């Protein structure tokens, strides 16, 4: 079927040249956001993540700290998410879903039921190293009953134990739905994130970043089929400024 992502390898990308562009964009009065958008929006994760080490080597400074001091709001969150390796990003999102005010069950299901066994093993390893607690223990301490067993089974080997309880039928339903038709599931998650008053930006950022090199082309097709509108148009109407520009780079086209 070929590559179904929207962000492809940038030919001849050079981390040392790239960090020079980023440094220049942040130096002096004001920030050149467009230079940051153009650069990060045209590099896949494996060409973005090494920029942190290259920046440190070249300038003796921390790229993430410098970006944090220059950027604000959702644009900052999106840029920082794009500089994390996928398993590190997933681990930090799971941590936030578990430790935030109230468990974000939809986020737990989204990550645990859409990643491969190998990816989940890597996430679990990183979670333990970063947060000093196993992912299974964190989930067990923060969720209840059958839903907990469902999630723990997903976090162990991505095997679905069908434990349908009245409280968590929607959650179980969505995990099954995700496994059956992943692009349609993500199209629906994106639609819900942008629907109604206020955008669920954390969900929007997570999906756009994590699927841009996996199946974004398929998600775009499903979005158009389900909602009669391109994902590009939906994002354009629901976001603004530099945040919008970088999200649209990840979206990759107006269909």
DSSP state letters, 177-190: HHHH-HHHHHHHHH
Give buried/exposed letters for 45-62 (b at 16+ CB in 10 A, else e). Answer: bebbbbbbebbeeeeeee
Is residue 62 left, alpha or beta, with left meaning phi > 0 and alpha meaning psi from -120 to 50? beta
pLDDT tens digits for the chain (255 residues)?
799 999 999 999 999 999 999 999 999 888 999 999 999 999 999 999 999 999 999 999 999 999 999 999 999 999 999 999 999 999 999 999 988 777 888 898 899 889 988 898 899 999 999 999 988 888 878 767 656 766 666 666 444 333 337 345 456 555 666 667 899 999 999 999 999 777 899 999 999 999 999 999 999 999 999 999 999 999 999 999 999 999 999 999 877
Residue 110 DSSP class: H
Please give the Cα distance from 50 to 47 (Å, whole number).
Answer: 6
Residues in CB range of 207: below 8 A, 6 or more apart? 110, 186, 189, 190, 193, 219
Per-residue tokens: 168? 């968590």
Question: Which pLDDT belongs to residue 164?
Answer: 32
Q: Where are the alpha helices (DSSP H) in the chain?
A: 15-26, 33-40, 45-48, 50-59, 63-70, 73-82, 86-99, 105-114, 117-131, 135-142, 145-157, 169-180, 182-194, 201-211, 216-227, 231-238, 241-251
Closest CA to 209 of 74, 23, 59, 117: 74
Q: How far is CA 146 from the centre of its chain?
A: 27
**What per-residue confidence (pLDDT) applies to 243?**
98
Burial annotation 167-178 (CB, 10 A radius, 16+ → b, else e): ebeebbebbeeb
Contact 220, 251 (CB under 8 A): yes
Q: How far is CA 46 from CA 14, 18, 133, 239, in A?
A: 12, 13, 27, 27
Rounded to the nearest angstrom, the gap between the alpha carbon of residue 36 and the centroid of all alpha carbons in its chain is: 18
Cα separation, 124 vs 115, whole angstroms: 12
What are the C-alpha distances in Å from 192 to residues 72, 75, 156? 24, 20, 28
The pLDDT score that the predictor gives to residue 56 is 98
Q: Please give the domain boundaries of the chain with CATH numbers for all domains.
A: 15-83 (1.10.220.10), 86-179 (1.10.220.10), 182-251 (1.10.220.10)
């Amino acid at each position: 079927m070929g590559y179904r992502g929207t962000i492809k390898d940038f030919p001849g990308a050079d981390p040392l040249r790239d960090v020079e562009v980023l440094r220049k964009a942040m130096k002096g009065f004001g920030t050149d956001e467009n230079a940051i958008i153009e650069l990060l929006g045209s590099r896949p994760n494996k060409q973005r993540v090494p920029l942190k080490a290259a920046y440190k080597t070249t300038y003796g400074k921390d790229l993430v700290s410098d970006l944090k001091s220059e950027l604000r709001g959702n644009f900052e969150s999106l840029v920082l998410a794009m500089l994390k390796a996928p398993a590190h990003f997933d681990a930090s999102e799971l941590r936030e879903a578990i430790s935030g005010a109230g468990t974000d069950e939809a986020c737990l299901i989204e990550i645990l039921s859409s990643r491969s066994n190998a990816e989940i093993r890597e996430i679990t390893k990183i979670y333990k190293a970063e947060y000093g607690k196993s992912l299974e223990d964190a989930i067990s301490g923060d969720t209840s009953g059958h839903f907990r067993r469902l999630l723990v089974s997903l976090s162990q080997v991505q095997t679905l134990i069908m434990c349908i309880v009245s409280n968590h039928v929607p959650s179980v339903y969505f995990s099954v739905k995700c496994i059956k038709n992943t692009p349609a599931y993500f199209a629906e998650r994106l639609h819900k994130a942008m629907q109604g008053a206020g955008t669920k930006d954390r969900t929007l950022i997570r999906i756009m970043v994590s699927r841009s090199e996996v199946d974004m082309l398929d998600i775009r097709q499903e979005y158009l089929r389900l909602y009669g509108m391109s994902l590009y148009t939906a994002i354009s109407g629901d976001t603004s400024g530099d945040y919008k520009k970088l999200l649209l780079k990840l979206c990759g086209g107006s269909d």
